[in-house]
Amino acid sequence: MFSKACEYAIRATIYIARQSMEGLRASLADISREIDSPIAFTSKILQQLVKAEIIYSTRGQTGGFYIESAMMESITIAGIVTAIDGDAIYTDCGLGLKECSGAEPCPVHEKFAEIRESLKNVLESTNIASLASGLKNGVTCLKR
Amino acid sequence: MFSKACEYAIRATIYIARQSMEGLRASLADISREIDSPIAFTSKILQQLVKAEIIYSTRGQTGGFYIESAMMESITIAGIVTAIDGDAIYTDCGLGLKECSGAEPCPVHEKFAEIRESLKNVLESTNIASLASGLKNGVTCLKR
DNA sequence: ATTTATTCGGATATTTTTGTCCGATTAAAA
DNA sequence: TTTTAATCGGACAAAAATATCCGAATAAAT
Ligand code: SF4
Ligand code: SF4
C-alpha cells in the first residue's frame, strides 16, 4: 500500500512524537533502532520530513529530531504519506490508466473512488497525537 | 496500489474477456496494442495468468489467449491481483510491521483492517463478465 | 581551541521491478 | 513437408526503489 520509505516515515514520526511528548529529542541512531529500520536510509527519509516541516531537527551535540507539541494534533498519517509518496494513492486509477477517469467510467471506477475516499478519510482523521499516546507499549509495536 | 504487472494483468484480462465473448482469441500483439503495454513484459504476465488458470492459451498459428465463457462470472479482480501480486494487500499491516497484528493493536489497526476489508470486498465482488460487458467503449478506455 | 556527537548532502551500491531479446516449441496453413 | 504465425522460457538489460558510505557542517561539551 505504501512504499517502504513511507512506512519508515510513519513509524519514525510516531516514535519522535512519543519522545517529544516527554521533552526529549530523538537521534537518528535511536529512531532507527527503535523502529528497526536501516539507519542511512532512515536518515534520508527524516530529511524529507524535515523539509516538509512535519518534524524539526537541530544539529550538533545534543541535537536530534523533534515535533512541536502544538502540531501533534495537526500532523496526520495523510500528511506523512503525501510528503513521502505523493498523492498517487488518492488520485490514481486502480487500473493504471491516465485519461479515462470520469468521462466514461468503467464499472469499477465508482467502487475504486469509494475505497480511495474511505482510505483518505482514515488517513486524514488519524493524527500523530492519538497514535503516539494510544500505543501503550508503543516501542515494541514499532519494531519488526 | 497494484504493481504495473498487476495493472497490465487486469487490463489484459478484460480485453481477452471481451474478445472471448465474441468467440475470438486474442494474440499477444493484439493485447499489448489494445491495452498499450510493453509487449515482451505483457507476455510474461500472460504466462503467469495461464499458469494460474485464469486465462488459457493455445500455441501455433491461429493460437492466442482466451477465457472459458463458463468462468467469466467467477474470475474476479481479486483473483487476478492474488495471482500476480499475492495477498499482501489484504493481509499486510499498513505500517509494514510483521509481528504485532492483533495482539496489541495500535490505533490505526482497526481502521486499516476496515479499509482492507472493503477493498477486498470490492475486488472480490467485481467479476470479469461485468467489467467486460460494462465497457461500452471498452478498447479506448483500456488504452493509455 | 579541540574534541565529540550530531544532522546534512552528495556519490555510490544493491535489490527489486519493469522491460527486452531471442531461440525453442507448437500447430495450422500452404 | 515446408512455411508461417503464434506461445513459451531462459538469459539479459534498464529503471526505480532501497540501502550504504563518507566527508562537510553544526553545535555543545571539554
Ligand atoms: S473508469 Fe475505470 S479504468 Fe478509468 S479511471 Fe476510472 S477506474 Fe480507472
Ligand atoms: S496494530 Fe497497527 S502497527 Fe500493528 S499490525 Fe495493526 S495496524 Fe499495523
Report the C-alpha gap between B24 and B17 in whole angstroms.
9
pLDDT in the model for residue B37:
96
Q: What is the pLDDT of residues A129-142, one digit of tens each?
A: 988 876 544 444 66
pLDDT in the model for residue A110:
79
pLDDT in the model for residue A140:
43
Task: Examine residue A142 and state whether it is found in any structural domain, yes or no.
Answer: no
Q: What is the pLDDT of residues B13-27, one digit of tens each?
A: 999 999 999 999 999
Report the C-alpha gap between B36 and B142 in whole angstroms.
8
Task: Examine residue B102 and state whether it is found in any structural domain, yes or no.
Answer: yes
Task: Examine residue A143 and state whether it is found in any structural domain, yes or no.
Answer: no
Per-residue pLDDT band for B50 (boundaries 50, 70, 90) equals very high
Task: Examine residue A46 and state whether it is found in any structural domain, yes or no.
Answer: yes
Domain around A99: 4-136
pLDDT in the model for residue B140:
43
Per-residue pLDDT band for A105 (boundaries 50, 70, 90) equals confident
pLDDT in the model for residue B138:
47
Higher pLDDT, B115 or B7: B7
pLDDT at A21 over 90: yes
Q: Cβ(A139)–Cβ(A15) under 8 Å? A: yes
User: What is the b/e burial string over B90-107, where b = at least 16 CB atoms within 10 angstroms of the residue's CB?
Assistant: bebbbbbbeebeeeebbe
Higher pLDDT, B102 or A38: A38
Count Cβ atoms below 10 Å from residue A43 Cβ, excluding itself: 14
Task: Examine residue A101 and state whether it is found in any structural domain, yes or no.
Answer: yes
pLDDT in the model for residue B108:
75
Task: Examine residue B143 and state whether it is found in any structural domain, yes or no.
Answer: no
Locate B78 and state its grid cell. Answer: 481479486
Give the residue ranges of DSSP H helices in chain B: 4-21, 28-34, 39-51, 77-85, 88-91, 109-125, 128-134, 138-142
CATH code of residue B78:
1.10.10.10
Of chain B, the percentage scoring pLDDT greater than 90 comes to 63
In chain A, the number of structural domains is: 1
Give B10's contacts in chain A (Cβ within 8 Å).
95
**Residue from B4, B141, B142, B143 to probe the interface with A (highest A Cβ count within 10 Å):** B141
Q: Is A18 in the pocket of ligand 1 (CB under 6 A)?
A: no
- Residue A46 vs residues A3, A29, A71, A108: alpha-carbon distances, Å: 15, 12, 17, 37
pLDDT at B123 over 60: yes
Which one of B10, B89, B92 has the shortest CB-CB distance to A95? B10
pLDDT in the model for residue A82:
97
Q: Cβ(B54)–Cβ(B12) under 8 Å? A: no
Phi, psi of A73 (to 5 degrees): -75, -30
> Ligand 2: distance of its center to the CA of B37 in Å?
36
Higher pLDDT, B139 or B57: B57
CA B36 to chain centre: 16
Count Cβ atoms below 10 Å from residue A114 Cβ, excluding itself: 13
Task: Examine residue B141 and state whether it is found in any structural domain, yes or no.
Answer: no
Q: Cβ(A46)–Cβ(A5) under 8 Å? A: no
Task: Examine residue A84 and state whether it is found in any structural domain, yes or no.
Answer: yes
